[in-house]
């Protein structure tokens, strides 16, 4: 029988509920408990797949092809276990299920209402993962902030579950903000008191209060929060700003968050936390020996959440290489032939990001050309891979108008074309080629060196693909399709053997990078960037060069 922890948020959004939930899960996992985390989002979209990255950040894709909230990426990166569709539920999905059932006649004769029909469906889904028998603890993060109209049914579902379950099987952790008023030189607890009161009015009382703060909370302050919010003083947990999200589990360990949770859930006989791998990762992260500068070429660079998994995969790969990875964001719309060298000259590696639509693609193609010609390590992901193919077609094969039919439906050389099965699809939500697919790797290729295995599985999210009609032309000209889907023959990886490191992948390798399993292409890309940087220094410093010889 699984136990349930609900994580709510108060005062303001963006406090990092996902990181707190993931950190708590990590600590419980490190003590030998099997945990998973799920997120319930109050918006009406059935999933975040149709949301603009500017609006909601990256869309995280699971192995089973669910388009989900980016917090699921944190859950996977922390816990090192894959999430699935069941781990992310929205109001839209809840209503869709209830309305479909109503149309089927499941509620014949009854008025379908928020309570009990919507709340029952929320509760059913909240308990779903616990029924699998795989987990000891299910942590449920409630999206939004307490007091929002749209999160009311979720809070009500938690209230009912708390009432239905034995006390030791269910608890609520509330994350709030303790603002520091510079003028008064004081931390303020009132917003927290209000938010706990609001939650209590909705019938849910928190067992633990986690306080985001820029300044340490002293014992008096903790006591004050405890008294006014009606929790034990040891249940007031300080969550100071950390320099890396990966430090948060250790901070929570110090504060005893896991112990108070275990006590409330009456879980006895748990092991001491085993965090050796985590600590060694943090050590490498905090004390790098070298540094590389990587250019991230994309069009959503104003919002860092749009490339969340890529940025995190760089952190994991940097730690493996004991190397600080500095990311320089380059807006693809502003890259032109005249300024490309100036913009990219200080880089040690170039990553062309995924994306949709025509805006900014010409800049991406120019950047690929620069990397190819200047032997700058290159890594293209999804649209980034497609841009590498187009660049090669235009500048090496000499097909000046080569393009993807996504951007130019009339091109005479559609080197990237809509996948066959996509041609009849009209609806937008959940209809891309999504989720994990196997890929067979060509022996002796760069991809083979990187993965050190013949068959891999990576996650996808796209509609267009390499046009196999042109395969022989590319191969004859020197671009190698080094990974293919065994069933369909779709090209998943392209590379250039006459370049020190040039690889483009149709899938999203960043989605599978975790602290304990850094993604191998990212690891090798950073290694290549380090070598590129070393060569540059050797050339700039002849003394070093002669020492190297």
Active site residues: 382, 508, 510
Q: Decide whether 40 or 474 has the Cβ nearer to ligand GLN.
A: 474
| CA terminus-to-terminus distance, the chain | 65
Minimum CB separation of residue 471 from ligand GLN in Å reads 18
Minimum CB separation of residue 456 from ligand GLN in Å reads 18
Segment (H or E) for 260: helix 257-264
Compute the distance between CA of residue 136 and CA of residue 261 in angstroms, rounded to an integer. 13
Is 451 within 8 Å of 439 (Cβ atoms)? no
Is 101 within 8 Å of 107 (Cβ atoms)? yes
Choose among 211, 256, 213, 207: nearest CA to 232. Answer: 207
Residue ranges of alpha helices (H) inside 381-519 are 383-395, 446-451, 471-477
Q: Decide whether 251 or 463 has the Cβ nearer to ligand GLN.
A: 463
Is 138 within 8 Å of 4 (Cβ atoms)? yes
Q: Put residue 11 in one of left, alpha, beta given phi > 0 → left and psi -120 to 50 → alpha.
A: left
Q: How many CA atoms lie within 13 A of 197 on its CB side?
A: 9
Minimum CB separation of residue 404 from ligand GLN in Å reads 7
Minimum CB separation of residue 332 from ligand GLN in Å reads 12
Q: Decide whether 141 or 406 has the Cβ nearer to ligand GLN.
A: 406
Q: Decide whether 48 or 153 has the Cβ nearer to ligand GLN.
A: 48
Minimum CB separation of residue 379 from ligand GLN in Å reads 13
Q: Which residues bind ligand GLN (CB under 6 A)?
A: 354-356, 382-383, 406, 461-464
Minimum CB separation of residue 453 from ligand GLN in Å reads 24
3 state SS of 210:
strand
Compute the distance between CA of residue 447 and CA of residue 494 in angstroms, rounded to an integer. 9
Q: Decide whether 154 or 307 has the Cβ nearer to ligand GLN.
A: 307
Compute the distance between CA of residue 500 and CA of residue 304 in angstroms, rounded to an integer. 29
Compute the distance between CA of residue 250 and CA of residue 181 in angstroms, rounded to an integer. 27
Choose among 498, 513, 525, 519: nearest CA to 379. Answer: 525
Q: How many CB atoms lie within 10 A of CB 31?
A: 19
Q: How are strands ordered across the β-sheet holding 3-9?
A: 88-90, 35-41, 137-142, 3-9, 170-177, 208-213, 236-240
**Strand ranges (E), 299-391:** 323-331, 349-352, 378-381
Q: Decide whether 399 or 464 has the Cβ nearer to ligand GLN.
A: 464
Minimum CB separation of residue 148 from ligand GLN in Å reads 31
């Amino acid at each position: 029988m699984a136990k349930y922890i609900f994580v709510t948020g108060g005062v303001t959004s963006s406090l990092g509920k996902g990181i707190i939930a993931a950190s708590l899960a990590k600590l419980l996992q490190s003590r030998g408990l099997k945990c998973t985390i799920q997120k319930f989002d109050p918006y009406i979209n059935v999933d975040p797949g149709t949301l603009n990255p500017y609006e909601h950040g990256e869309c995280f894709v699971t192995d089973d092809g669910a388009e989900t909230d980016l917090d699921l990426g944190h859950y996977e990166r922390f816990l090192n276990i894959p999430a699935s569709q069941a781990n992310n539920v929205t109001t839209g999905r809840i209503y869709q299920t209830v309305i479909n059932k109503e149309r089927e006649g499941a509620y014949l004769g009854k008025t379908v209402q928020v309570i009990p029909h919507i709340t029952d469906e929320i509760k059913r889904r909240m308990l779903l993962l616990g029924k699998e028998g795989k987990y000891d603890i299910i942590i449920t993060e409630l999206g939004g902030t307490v007091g929002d109209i749209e999160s009311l049914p979720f809070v009500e579902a938690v209230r009912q579950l708390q009432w239905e379950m034995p006390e030791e099987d269910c608890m609520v952790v509330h994350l709030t903000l303790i603002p520091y008023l510079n003028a008064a030189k004081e931390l303020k607890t009132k917003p927290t008191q209000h938010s706990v009161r609001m939650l209590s009015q909705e019938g849910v009382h928190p067992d633990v209060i986690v306080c985001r703060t820029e300044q340490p909370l002293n014992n008096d302050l903790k006591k004050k929060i405890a008294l006014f919010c009606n929790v034990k003083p040891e249940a007031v947990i300080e969550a100071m700003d950390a320099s890396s999200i990966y430090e948060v589990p250790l901070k929570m360990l110090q504060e005893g968050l896991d112990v108070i949770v275990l006590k409330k859930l009456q879980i006895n006989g748990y092991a001491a936390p085993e965090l050796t791998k985590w600590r060694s990762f943090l050590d490498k992260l905090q004390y790098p020996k070298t540094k590389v500068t990587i250019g991230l070429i994309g069009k959503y660079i104003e919002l860092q959440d749009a490339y969340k998994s890529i940025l995190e995969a760089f952190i994991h790969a940097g730690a493996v290489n004991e190397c600080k990875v500095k990311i320089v964001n380059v807006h693809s719309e502003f890259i032109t032939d005249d300024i490309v060298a100036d913009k990219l000259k200080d880089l040690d590696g170039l990553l062309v990001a995924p994306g949709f639509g025509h805006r900014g693609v010409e800049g991406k193609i120019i950047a690929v050309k620069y990397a190819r010609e200047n032997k700058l390590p290159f890594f293209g992901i999804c649209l980034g891979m497609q841009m590498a193919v187009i660049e090669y077609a235009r500048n090496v094969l000499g097909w000046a108008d080569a393009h993807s039919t996504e951007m130019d439906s009339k091109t005479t050389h559609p080197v990237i074309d809509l996948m066959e099965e996509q041609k009849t699809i009209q609806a937008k939500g959940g209809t891309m080629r999504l989720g994990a697919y196997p890929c067979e790797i060509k022996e002796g290729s760069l991809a083979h060196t990187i993965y050190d295995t013949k068959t891999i599985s990576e996650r996808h999210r796209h509609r267009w693909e390499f046009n196999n009609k042109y395969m022989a032309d590319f191969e004859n000209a020197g671009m190698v399709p080094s990974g293919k889907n065994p069933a369909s023959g779709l090209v998943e990886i392209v590379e250039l053997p006459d370049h020190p490191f040039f690889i483009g992948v149709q899938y999203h390798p960043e989605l599978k990078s975790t602290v304990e399993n850094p993604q191998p292409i990212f690891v090798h890309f950073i290694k290549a960037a380090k070598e590129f940087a070393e060569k540059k220094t050797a050339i700039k410093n002849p003394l070093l060069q002669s020492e190297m010889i």
